[in-house]
Amino acid sequence: MAERYFRGVYGCNSGVVDELAATDIVVTYPVFERLFGKPALVGRDAVKAFADHFCGKWAEPEFVIHEVISDERRLVLVWSFSARDTEAAPSEPRAAWGGISLLKFNAQGEISAEIGEESTPGPMGRLKKADDE
């Protein structure tokens, strides 16, 4: 369920938000302050609007979920993402980054929070660089 939500939001299927997220879901990443002037998005409508905007900016998304760690009400994903910037020339390389995201679930089993950190390169990209050295 968490992977389906994550792939839906960042892979251009914002309909999963209505299906899997709590009405008062909170999503926060450090980049939101720069992009939106606030640290978090609150509510399904805000998350769906973000997903639609994200998918207008990034085409041909590719996800790799490297690790999944969970208990009854929490799940952590370690992930990598790459996509083609829709505003860049076709010859430009794909953009890539990665991160770690904590998803929290409410008593009804809905996703109530997505709390993440992202970087370029992401956690697995840094490991790969260290292995290559």
Domains and CATH numbers, the chain: 2-132 (3.10.450.50)
Q: What is the Cα Rg of the chain in Å?
A: 15
Amino acid at 23: T
Q: What's the pLDDT score for residue 36?
A: 92
Residue 115's pLDDT is 98
Please give the Cα distance from 61 to 63 (Å, whole number): 7
> So what's the pLDDT on residue 48?
96
User: Residue 19's pLDDT is what?
Assistant: 96
In tens digits, the chain (133 residues) has pLDDT values of 888 999 999 988 999 999 999 999 999 999 999 999 999 999 999 999 999 999 999 999 999 999 999 998 999 999 999 999 999 998 999 999 999 999 999 999 999 999 999 999 899 888 876 777 7
What is the model's pLDDT at position 132?
Answer: 77
Could you tell me the pTM of the whole model? Answer: 0.90
Going from the C-alpha of 25 to that of each of 48, 61, 68, the distances in angstroms are 11, 23, 21
Tell me which H or E stretch contains 53. helix 44-57
Tokens of residue 55, six digits? 């998918």
